């Protein structure tokens, strides 16, 4: 039994379905990666898992509990956190306030978690008084991930965390994400940089037109000639 | 003596421009803060804000009369200050009712901002009718207590000048209360969890929801603060000038001009905008004859005109012109608010 099991999801934003019978799972402390061409429905699948989208068929289970009917806020309380692809920070409030807002639902002392986030992303500590909107792309992504970690989630969902950052910053971010997974948090991540992402993935999903095209370990997908040819550029 | 002339010119300028503009600017700033907070959180231009000010002020006046009939007074200060908390509470109640019965419906439907704006015009007409019905459309004076902090004559004697600066109690109160309110508001927005969640919500609504911030609570608190600010601004304006429903409706223009010039959604901008509009309006419509006569050396020179750039009849045109210029050249306002 996986920690997250989103099974047979079918649904979309209105009249036409975007997802068709799509299944995504993530194991405890492991990294699951979704790759696929633009417009394949990767972001839509993430939103469906997080309850931001009506799916009329299928179910989402977290740690054995059926959460299909829960609102996104209720899912946050259950231990899920989501970093959207765009607009994932509060631009005109400070970095530290971004982290505080991430922990909005918590009633206990958040200073230790904040310290952990600063240990993971030391640059944020230096910039904690600066508005998040003034930071570079890579630093903003760190704020976004940091904000999501503030709820102490058991499942962290990242939609293209390395979009628009340099290769060096991307490697750096991937290292941090591995570190987060090592601490026992499950990661479900969408990535454009398919090759690098599958390299660190325990499990990979190739999504095409809202359907599961390939599902395997990251290693196996990287070795699969068909996947290489169509999705990894040879 | 040359130095005296300059001091006299300065005194005239202070008396007719500086002090009135500081007062009027404080009133506009408080009004614009309410408009800008609503815009930041609820994302629409609230046309009912002027009439919200009128309603709150009306309640303050009714309580003032009640207290006066009981023989309660506030010494040298206006009784209206004692009535202010009650006016704020009743105004908050009315505004929350308007949200419950009007705006919430459109929020559930995720209506476009322009729909909200039109709905707010409806609320404006209802509030306006309510005020005229309850307290009449007439001009009402409700100031009592001492009139001056310092009289022009006392000022002249104190400094040995030919010209004096009079400071009215209402002017002093306006500036002091505006400062206190602004400090309290910024403390709330920047230091408390609820205030920060308001700013976060204004910044990025979707992410606020993902963080578990309760939108209903944020909206409610924003309305409460806006109603309190409206009542305070309206009461201070009414004490300083007079209360009349129509005047408060007309105040909507300079208040919106202040909020937009400062940058809609930016509290700091609303304050800057309020003073900018007030100073421009008063400086452009003031007759500089006397100031000029003091400033030009030689005793016998007399200005042959009033040296007034614009007739006071055009004071609302000033707000309008500034508004146009800002929208043309810097649509996000001085403090980079949301573009309109
Ligand atoms: N908010 C939305 N409303 C309607 N259609 C959308 C919305 N977001 C995305 N889509 C559509 O859903 C499909 C999948 O988009 P998306 O999930 O963003 O793809 P990906 O993340 O894989 O690039 C696209 O055809 C896109 O046009
Ligand atoms: Mg996407």
Domain extent for A29: 1-79+193-234
Please count the structural domains in chain B: 1
> B211 and A104 in contact by Cβ < 8 A?
yes
Q: What's the mean pLDDT when you consider all of chain A? A: 95
Domain annotation covers residue B289: no
Given a cut of 60, whether residue B340 has pLDDT beyond it is no
pLDDT in tens, A21-71: 999 999 999 999 999 999 999 999 999 999 999 899 999 999 999 999 999
Domain annotation covers residue B35: yes
| Coil, helix or strand at residue B115 | helix
B196 → closest Cβ in A89, A93, A147: A93
Closest approach of chain A CAs to the CA of B294, in angstroms?
A: 48
Domain annotation covers residue A112: no
Closest approach of chain A CAs to the CA of B327, in angstroms?
A: 22
Chain A CB contacts of B204 under 8 Å are 87, 89-91
pLDDT in tens, B140-189: 999 999 999 999 999 999 998 999 999 999 999 999 999 999 999 999 99
Please count the structural domains in chain A: 1
Domain extent for B146: 2-245
Q: Where are the beta strands (DSSP E) in A74-145?
A: 80-83
Instruction: In whole angstroms, give the CA distance from residue A115 to residue A103.
Output: 13
Q: Which residue has the higher pLDDT, B181 or B301?
A: B181
Instruction: In whole angstroms, give the CA distance from residue B91 to residue B60.
Output: 10
pLDDT band at B338 (very low <50, low <70, confident <90, very high): low
Domain annotation covers residue A90: no
pLDDT in tens, A161-199: 999 899 999 999 999 999 999 999 999 999 999 999 999
pLDDT in tens, A203-212: 999 999 999 9
Domain annotation covers residue A104: no
Domain annotation covers residue A168: no
B232 phi-psi bin (left φ>0, alpha ψ -120 to 50, beta other): alpha
pLDDT band at B266 (very low <50, low <70, confident <90, very high): very high
Q: What's the mean pLDDT when you consider all of chain B? A: 94
Q: Cβ(A41) to ligand 1 under 6 A?
A: yes
pLDDT band at B299 (very low <50, low <70, confident <90, very high): low
CATH of the domain at B133: 1.10.3470
CATH of the domain at A202: 3.40.50.300
Q: Cβ(A43) to ligand 1 under 6 A?
A: yes
Nearest CA to ligand 1 atom 4: A13
Given a cut of 80, whether residue B2 has pLDDT beyond it is no
Domain annotation covers residue A143: no
- Give every CB contact of residue B244 below 8 A, 6+ residues apart in sequence: B137, B138, B139, B140
Nearest CA to ligand 1 atom 7: A13
Domain annotation covers residue B92: yes
Q: Which residue has the higher pLDDT, B294 or B14?
A: B14
Q: Cβ(A159) to ligand 1 under 6 A?
A: no
B206 → closest Cβ in A87, A105, A151: A87
Burial letters B179-206, b for 16+ CB under 10 A, else e: eebbeebeeebeeeeebbbbbbbbbbbe
Domain annotation covers residue B116: yes
- Ligand 1 site-directed mutation target among A18, A36, A83, A191, most atoms within 8 Å of CB: A18
Residues of chain A with pLDDT > 70, as a percent, come to: 100
- Give every CB contact of residue A150 below 8 A, 6+ residues apart in sequence: A99, A100, A102, A103, A106, A110, A113, A114, A117
pLDDT band at B129 (very low <50, low <70, confident <90, very high): very high
pLDDT band at B304 (very low <50, low <70, confident <90, very high): confident
pLDDT computed for residue B332 by the predictor: 87
Q: Cβ(A39) to ligand 1 under 6 A?
A: yes
Instruction: In whole angstroms, give the CA distance from residue B73 to residue A193.
Output: 74
Domain annotation covers residue A56: yes
pLDDT computed for residue B306 by the predictor: 86
Domain annotation covers residue A11: yes
Domain annotation covers residue A162: no
Domain annotation covers residue B272: no
Domain annotation covers residue B270: no
């Amino acid at each position: 039994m996986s920690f997250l099991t989103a099974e047979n999801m079918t649904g979309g934003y209105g009249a036409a379905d975007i997802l068709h019978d799509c299944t995504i799972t993530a194991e405890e402390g492991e990294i699951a990666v979704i790759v696929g061409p633009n417009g394949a429905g990767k972001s839509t699948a993430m939103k469906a898992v997080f309850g931001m989208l009506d799916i009329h068929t299928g179910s989402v289970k977290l740690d054995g509990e059926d959460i299909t009917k829960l609102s996104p806020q209720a899912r946050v309380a259950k231990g899920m956190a989501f970093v959207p692809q765009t607009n994932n920070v509060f631009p005109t409030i400070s970095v530290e306030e971004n982290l505080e807002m991430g922990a909005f639902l918590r009633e206990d002392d958040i200073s230790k978690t904040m310290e952990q986030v600063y240990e993971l992303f030391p640059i944020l500590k230096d910039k904690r008084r600066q508005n998040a909107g003034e930071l570079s792309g890579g630093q903003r992504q760190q704020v976004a991930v940091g904000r999501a970690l503030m709820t102490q989630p058991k499942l962290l969902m990242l939609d293209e965390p390395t979009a628009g950052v340099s290769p060096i910053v991307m490697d750096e971010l991937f290292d941090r994400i591995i570190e987060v997974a090592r601490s026992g948090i499950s990661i479900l991540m969408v990535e454009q940089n398919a090759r690098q992402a599958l390299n660190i993935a325990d499990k990979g999903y190739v999504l095409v037109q809202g359907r599961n095209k390939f599902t395997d370990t990251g290693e196996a997908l990287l070795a699969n000639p068909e996947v290489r040819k169509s999705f990894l550029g040879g | 003596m040359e130095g005296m002339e300059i001091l006299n010119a300065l005194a005239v300028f202070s008396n007719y421009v500086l002090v009135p503009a500081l007062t009027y600017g404080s009133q506009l700033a408080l009004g614009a803060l309410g408009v800008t907070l609503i815009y930041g959180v609820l994302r629409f231009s609230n046309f009912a804000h002027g009439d919200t000010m009128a309603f709150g002020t009306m309640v303050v006046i009714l309580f003032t009369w009640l207290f006066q009939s009981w023989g309660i007074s506030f010494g040298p200060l206006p009784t209206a200050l004692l009535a202010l908390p009650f006016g704020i509470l009743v105004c908050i109640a009315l505004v929350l009712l308007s949200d419950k019965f009007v705006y919430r419906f459109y929020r559930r439907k995720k209506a476009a901002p322009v729909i909200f704006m039109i709905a707010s015009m409806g609320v404006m007409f209802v509030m306006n009718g309510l005020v005229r019905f309850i307290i009449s459309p007439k001009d009402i004076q409700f100031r009592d207590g001492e009139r001056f902090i310092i009289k022009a004559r006392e000022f002249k004697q104190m400094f040995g000048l030919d010209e004096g600066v009079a400071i009215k109690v209402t002017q002093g109160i306006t500036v002091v209360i505006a400062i206190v309110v602004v400090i309290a508001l910024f403390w709330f927005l920047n230091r408390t969890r609820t205030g920060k969640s308001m700013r976060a919500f204004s910044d990025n609504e979707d992410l606020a929801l993902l963080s578990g911030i309760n939108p209903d609570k944020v909206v409610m608190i924003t309305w409460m603060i806006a109603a309190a600010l409206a009542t305070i601004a309206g009461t201070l304006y009414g004490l300083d000038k007079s209360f009349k429903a129509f005047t408060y409706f007309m105040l909507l223009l300079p208040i919106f001009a202040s909020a937009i010039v400062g940058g809609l959604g930016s509290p700091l901008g609303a304050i800057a905008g309020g003073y900018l509009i007030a100073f421009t309006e008063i400086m452009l419509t003031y007759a500089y004859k006397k100031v000029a006569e003091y400033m030009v050396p030689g005793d016998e020179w007399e200005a042959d005109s009033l040296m007034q750039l614009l007739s006071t009849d055009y004071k609302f045109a000033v707000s309008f012109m500034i508004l146009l210029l800002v929208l043309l050249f810097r649509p996000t306002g001085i403090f980079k608010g949301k573009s309109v």
